[in-house]
């Protein structure tokens, strides 16, 4: 292939090879641009036949990338960007792909691989003009594996089909569709679809010009016709579904085209008849047949109007050296007309097989003994591919007549689809008892080709068909997603206990299947049912939902009074109008009724804290969790999260762990860039870590949003991919209110809990904080708090602590409630996390860093007696978490990560001494004097303490600020932690020392965070 391409460039150097809008390339230009990328691959030591991903749609970038890989001696793996990220990554990883060629806009989607941006070939700094003879670079033989294309399999996982140069050369040289020098061939197919081989390589190897047809043109049949004419396109290959769609509205669209090939699945008789009988039929209309495993096409039939009127269109005869046999069940050849047999194909186009699929290769690629056509007395062994299609011979010319599938594999939207794969996926849904999939062809018109899933719900419970569609969308490409789901009570079975598909087709046709009404699910809580009925009776309405807003229904004052009176009468609960306005939905009103008797102490705001812990009560748990060396991590850009990520990436024992990280991009940085920046910020970035980042799967999302703000397909993949969730994300703002923390810490935790609960069963590892106990020592006089003890007893102290502490209490309590329902949850409550004990790498933006830096700059330290701070180094925290999480026997408990010895706790007075011993002079003075000096200091506007001012200055209890109330802390028992860690010599608590404090301060200064 490479030699022939070079010959074309040398022979007709000025001839156009590619036209794509404003971009056009001669054959010499094409090789020159491709050689930039090829040289890069060779410099990176690309191996012979090594797969290289090409993630970009049809167009000049796709073609240059493929030529570059050919020149470098690799194997092109084209994947259309429309593939879901999860499937895209899986296909590339299964091939051990190192390199991916793509555009700058798409590079973030494949950032875990080494990306080669294709646009760099347009950089003016590259001298791409080639002079003299263009020679081959790789010089590979015809047997060289040039392509890997993916086709769906019976498991639903795409199989990698290997295609050689010999196969592509045979396709180009043997097709009866004549394409010569200068002929323009349209390019419109998905580059991962085998029809793209015709568009690109048949054209280039024949000396023609590939003309890219934009997607928006394809979608408009009228514009499509104009484009074909204006661009001078003489040949076109398109899926039968697209051909049918164009013929329906513009049957004369192809009048300027010499060759139109319809392929990919059975042709539409009506569509072909319509095109051929139009005012402007193409010069030649072809019906093409051939699976990917035999390289795009194996037979062709030139279709005539007379043939369409006969009611049957032949698949044609094999071309070139293609070998086609019909075999019976004993794998003996069928030679007579009208006898059906399985279509088996051999010859130069035959694939070497599926990569890494030994069993499938043995089943589908067979060797059979056949009589030698040249010598009837001899028998020869030939290799064939079993297509699974049924056909028969027709007429003296032995044209192939396609009949259908031998199994449940069908052609849908141009792709082969295993119905069993879809059935297996849907059957895995717990709400499904039985399922059967049908491929329905209601006629030859556009849109008639449909996939239908017939589903029997589990336990006779109502089932939303859309949920089944969404379930399938998250696990399969678009062409394997049912167009319709019908709910039935039973699926007919035959005498052998198998699905009777004939009977099922009949039932569908007669439209006797049951349907599930929408939005008819009823809550089973008696209070909710009673309130709903009361309200419906007052308003004369029906079908009110639990989340309907009562206030917006237009109740008059008299109706409100009657409503409240009936609640008292029917339920025995007295509520006020104020209660109704605070809890305007039926569901929230029920929550209020249930909570009213329980909360009878402390400020009124604690009602909200308690009520919000019930937000996740409706989460359904899914059984059967097993660990597979995969984790989902939130908070990867935060201090604890990034240190957990660093350990997964750096430890030899964790080299196989894949980490999916949720992160949000912004206008300046992609999610991956933000994670890398965090690794650099906290001093854990290295060349080794850079190499290991290929194990990181970045999900651009937002945990405050439903489904984490992810596309539906990515979310569904995530909940079925990750066996463990590490939730380390949290907003920590010592000055913001509970409401300011609610979205991230409460709603976000609820959404992450849903990830843990939905799909496959998982363990949930929740990083909470000792702040959940608030200022219980000061307010309630608590001496000791135990790890598994209840949090509610400390609720009354919560209003006097920070909004962060309040949000952590609610989130922690909410997590415990879900744990009680069966979700395997482990809770970690670290103390005040400071820098690494070995490197000093710490967070400059937290309270610890700002208070120390600001006080050193000021020269004074606040005197705060009775404040014992549970400072704990980040290495102790993260090492402990990973140790505890590695043993499933630790699930179901909470673990305090703090000082195991109360004598090692550092209070605020001791911290002042340590700072001075570290070589930084600060004078301890009364708190109010320190605050006054800080606020009157000339450098106050740039002080690290400025963002802490509400915490430092706002009085909350008897004149004390929120910071001052953090005294008389209880002893934080950590018996669970010590037991789980055991005698691990490499995990030890490190007490603050002058040397360690100096290490922290030097790190901040070295990184330029603060100057001292």
Mean per-residue pLDDT for 456-467? 78
Q: Which of 764, 985, 740 is nearest to 881 (CA)?
A: 764
Is the pLDDT at 107 greater than 80? The verdict is: yes
Segment among 573-582, 787-796, 967-976 with least mean pLDDT: 573-582
Q: Say what percent of the chain tops pLDDT 70.
A: 91
pLDDT digits (tens, 9 = 90+) for 663-687: 998 888 899 999 999 999 999 999 9
Mean per-residue pLDDT for 576-605? 63
Mean pLDDT of the chain: 86
Burial profile 192-231: b = 16 or more Cβ within 10 angstroms, e = fewer: bbbbbbbbbbbbbbbbbbbbbbeeebbeebebbbebbeeb
The continuous run of DSSP H or E covering 957 comes out as strand 955-957
Segment among 265-274, 681-690, 692-701 with least mean pLDDT: 265-274
pLDDT score at 725: 96
Is the pLDDT at 127 greater than 80? The verdict is: no
Query: What residues have CB less than 8 Å from 358, skipping those under 6 apart?
Result: none
pLDDT digits (tens, 9 = 90+) for 871-896: 999 999 999 999 999 888 899 999 99
Q: Which of 966, 670, 975 is nearest to 802 (CA)?
A: 966
pLDDT score at 516: 32
Segment among 199-203, 293-297, 404-408, 470-474 with least mean pLDDT: 404-408
pLDDT digits (tens, 9 = 90+) for 722-739: 899 999 999 988 778 899
CB 761 within 8 A of CB 624: yes
pLDDT digits (tens, 9 = 90+) for 284-295: 999 999 999 999
Mean per-residue pLDDT for 533-544? 82
Domain range 1-167, its CATH number among 3.40.640.10, 1.10.10.10, 1.25.40.10, 3.40.50.12780: 3.40.50.12780
How is the chain split into domains, by residue range? 1-167, 409-509, 526-597
Q: Which of 287, 367, 355 is nearest to 323 (CA)?
A: 367
pLDDT digits (tens, 9 = 90+) for 309-339: 887 789 999 999 999 999 988 899 999 888 8
Is the pLDDT at 566 greater than 90? The verdict is: no
Query: What residues have CB less than 8 Å from 457, skipping those under 6 apart?
Result: 431, 432, 433, 463, 487, 516
CB 356 within 8 A of CB 160: yes
Mean per-residue pLDDT for 922-935? 93
Predicted confidence band of residue 626 (pLDDT cuts 50, 70, 90): very low
Q: Give, in order, the Cα–Cα distances in Å from 286 to each of 175, 604, 621, 871.
A: 11, 78, 54, 76
C-beta atoms surrounding 409 within 10 Å: 20
Partners of 871 in the β-ladder: 832
* Top-confidence range, 534-538, 605-609, 708-712: 708-712
Q: Say what percent of the chain tops pLDDT 90.
A: 53
409-509 CATH fold? GMP Synthetase; Chain A, domain 3 (3.30.300)
**Dist CA 513 CA 840 (whole Å):** 68
Is the pLDDT at 12 greater than 70? The verdict is: yes
Quickly tell me which residue has 């604890």 as its tokens: 640
Mean per-residue pLDDT for 165-175? 96
Beta strands in 62-192 (DSSP E): 75-79, 99-102, 114-117, 145-151, 159-164, 184-187
Partners of 862 in the β-ladder: 925
Q: Which of 363, 423, 359 is nearest to 388 (CA)?
A: 363
Predicted confidence band of residue 374 (pLDDT cuts 50, 70, 90): low
Mean per-residue pLDDT for 328-356? 92
Q: Could you tell me the pTM of the whole model?
A: 0.51
Quickly tell me which residue has 């949090």 as its tokens: 791
pLDDT digits (tens, 9 = 90+) for 81-104: 988 888 899 899 999 999 999 998
pLDDT score at 929: 94
Instruction: Give the number of C-alpha atoms closer than 13 A to the C-alpha of residue 619, restricted to the C-beta side.
Output: 29
**Dist CA 627 CA 762 (whole Å):** 8
Predicted confidence band of residue 837 (pLDDT cuts 50, 70, 90): very high
The continuous run of DSSP H or E covering 727 comes out as strand 724-727
pLDDT digits (tens, 9 = 90+) for 767-802: 999 999 988 888 888 888 999 999 988 888 888 888
Query: What residues have CB less than 8 Å from 50, skipping those under 6 apart?
Result: 74, 75, 98, 99
pLDDT digits (tens, 9 = 90+) for 627-671: 577 899 999 999 999 999 999 999 988 888 899 999 998 888 899
Domain range 526-597, its CATH number among 2.40.50.100, 3.40.1160.10, 1.10.1200.10, 1.10.760.10: 1.10.1200.10
Backbone phi, psi, residue 212, to 5°: -75, 130
Is the pLDDT at 235 greater than 60? The verdict is: yes
Mean per-residue pLDDT for 269-282? 90
């Amino acid at each position: 292939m490479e030699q022939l391409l070079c010959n074309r460039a040398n022979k007709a150097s000025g001839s156009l090879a590619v036209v794509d809008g404003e971009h056009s390339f001669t054959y010499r230009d094409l090789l020159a641009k491709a050689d930039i990328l090829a040289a890069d691959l060779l410099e990176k030591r690309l191996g012979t036949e090594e797969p290289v991903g090409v993630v970009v749609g049809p167009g000049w970038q796709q073609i240059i990338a493929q030529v570059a890989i050919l020149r470098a001696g690799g194997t092109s793996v084209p994947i259309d960007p429309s593939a879901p990220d999860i499937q895209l990554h899986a296909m590339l990883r299964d091939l051990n792909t190192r390199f991916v060629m793509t555009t700058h806009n798409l590079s973030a989607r494949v950032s875990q691989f080494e990306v080669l941006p294709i646009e760099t070939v347009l950089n003016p700094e590259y001298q791409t003009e080639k002079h003299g003879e263009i020679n081959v670079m790789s010089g590979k033989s015809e047997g060289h594996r040039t392509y890997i294309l993916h086709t769906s399999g019976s498991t639903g996982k795409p199989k990698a089909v290997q295609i050689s140069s010999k196969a592509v050369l045979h396709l180009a040289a043997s097709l009866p569709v004549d394409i010569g020098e200068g002929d323009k061939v349209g390019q419109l197919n998905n580059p991962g679809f085998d029809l793209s081989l015709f568009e690109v390589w048949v054209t280039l190897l024949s000396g023609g010009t590939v003309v890219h047809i934009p997607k928006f043109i394809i979608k408009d049949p009228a514009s499509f016709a104009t484009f074909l004419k204006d661009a001078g396109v003489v040949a076109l290959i398109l899926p039968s579904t697209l051909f049918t769609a164009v013929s329906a509205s513009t049957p004369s669209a192809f009048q300027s085209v010499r060759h139109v090939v319809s392929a990919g699945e059975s042709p539409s008789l009506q569509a072909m008849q319509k095109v051929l009988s139009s005012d402007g039929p193409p010069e030649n209309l072809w019906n093409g047949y051939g699976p990917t495993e035999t390289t795009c096409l194996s037979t062709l039939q030139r279709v005539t109007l007379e043939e369409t009127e006969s009611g049957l269109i032949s698949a044609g005869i094999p071309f070139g050296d293609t070998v086609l046999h019909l075999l019976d069940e004993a794998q003996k050849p069928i030679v007579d007309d009208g006898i059906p047999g399985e279509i088996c194909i051999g010859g130069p186009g035959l694939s070497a097989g599926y990569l890494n699929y030994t069993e499938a290769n043995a089943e589908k690629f067979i060797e059979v003994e056949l009589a030698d056509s040249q010598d009837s007395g001899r028998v020869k062994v030939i290799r064939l591919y079993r297509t699974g299609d049924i056909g028969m011979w027709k007429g003296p010319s032995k044209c192939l007549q396609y009949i259908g599938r031998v199994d449940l594999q069908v052609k849908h939207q141009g792709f082969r689809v295993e119905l069993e794969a879809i059935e297996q996926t849907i059957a895995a849904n717990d709400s499904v008892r039985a399922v059967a999939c049908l491929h329905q062809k209601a006629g030859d018109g556009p849109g008639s080709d449909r996939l239908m899933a017939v589903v029997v719900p589990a336990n006779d419970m109502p089932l939303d068909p859309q949920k089944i569609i969404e379930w399938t969308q998250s696990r399969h490409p678009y062409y394997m997603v049912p167009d319709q789901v019908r709910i039935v009570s039973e699926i007919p079975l035959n005498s052998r206990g198998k699905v009777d598909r004939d009977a099922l087709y009949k039932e569908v046709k007669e439209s006797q299947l049951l349907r599930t009404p929408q939005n008819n699910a009823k809550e089973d809580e008696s209070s909710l049912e009673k309130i709903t009925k009361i309200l419906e009776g007052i308003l004369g309405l029906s079908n009110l939902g639990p989340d309907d807003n009562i206030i917006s229904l237009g109740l008059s004052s008299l109706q409100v009074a009657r409503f409240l009176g009936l609640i008292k009468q029917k339920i025995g609960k007295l509520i006020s109008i104020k209660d109704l306005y605070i809890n305007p939905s039926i569901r929230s009103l029920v929550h209020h009724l249930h909570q009213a008797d329980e909360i009878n102490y402390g400020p009124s705001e604690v009602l909200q804290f308690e009520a919000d812990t019930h937000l996740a009560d409706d989460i359904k748990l899914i059984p059967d969790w097993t660990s597979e060396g995969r984790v989902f991590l939130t908070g990867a850009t935060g201090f604890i999260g990034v240190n957990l990520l660093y350990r997964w990436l750096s430890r030899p024992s964790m080299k196989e762990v894949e980490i999916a990280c949720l992160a949000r991009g912004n206008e300046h940085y992609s999610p991956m860039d933000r994670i890398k920046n965090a690794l650099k910020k906290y001093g854990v970035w290295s060349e080794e870590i850079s190499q290991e980042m290929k194990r990181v799967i970045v999900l651009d999302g937002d945990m405050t949003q439903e489904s984490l703000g992810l596309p539906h397909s990515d979310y569904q993949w995530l909940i079925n991919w990750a066996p463990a969730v590490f939730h380390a994300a949290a907003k920590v703002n010592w000055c913001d209110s509970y409401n300011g923390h609610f979205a991230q810490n409460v709603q976000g935790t609820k959404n992450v809990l849903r990830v843990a609960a939905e799909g496959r069963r998982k363990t949930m590892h929740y990083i909470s904080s000792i702040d959940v106990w608030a200022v219980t020592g000061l307010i309630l006089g608590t001496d000791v708090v135990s790890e598994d003890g209840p949090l509610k007893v400390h609720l009354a102290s919560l209003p006097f602590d920070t909004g962060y502490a309040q949000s952590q209490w609610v989130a922690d309590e909410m997590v415990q409630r879900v744990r009680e329902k069966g979700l395997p949850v482990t809770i970690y409550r670290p103390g005040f996390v400071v820098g690494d004990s070995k490197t000093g790498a710490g967070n400059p933006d937290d309270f610890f860093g700002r208070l120390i830096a600001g006080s050193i700059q000021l020269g004074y330290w606040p005197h705060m007696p009775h404040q014992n701070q549970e400072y704990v180094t980040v290495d102790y925290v993260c090492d402990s978490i990973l140790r505890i999480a590695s043993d499933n026997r630790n699930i179901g408990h909470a673990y305090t990560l703090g000082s195991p010895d109360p004598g090692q706790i550092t209070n605020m007075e001791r911290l002042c001494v340590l700072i001075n011993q570290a070589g930084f002079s600060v004078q301890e003075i009364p708190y109010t004097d320190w605050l006054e000096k800080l606020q009157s200091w000339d450098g106050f506007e740039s002080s690290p303490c400025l963002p802490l001012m509400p915490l430092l200055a706002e009085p909350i209890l008897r004149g004390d600020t929120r910071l001052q109330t953090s005294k008389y802390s209880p002893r934080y028992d950590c018996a669970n932690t010590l037991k789980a860690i055991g005698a691990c010599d490499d995990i030890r608590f490190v007490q603050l020392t002058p040397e360690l404090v100096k290490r922290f301060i030097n790190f901040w200064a070295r990184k330029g965070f603060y100057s001292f």
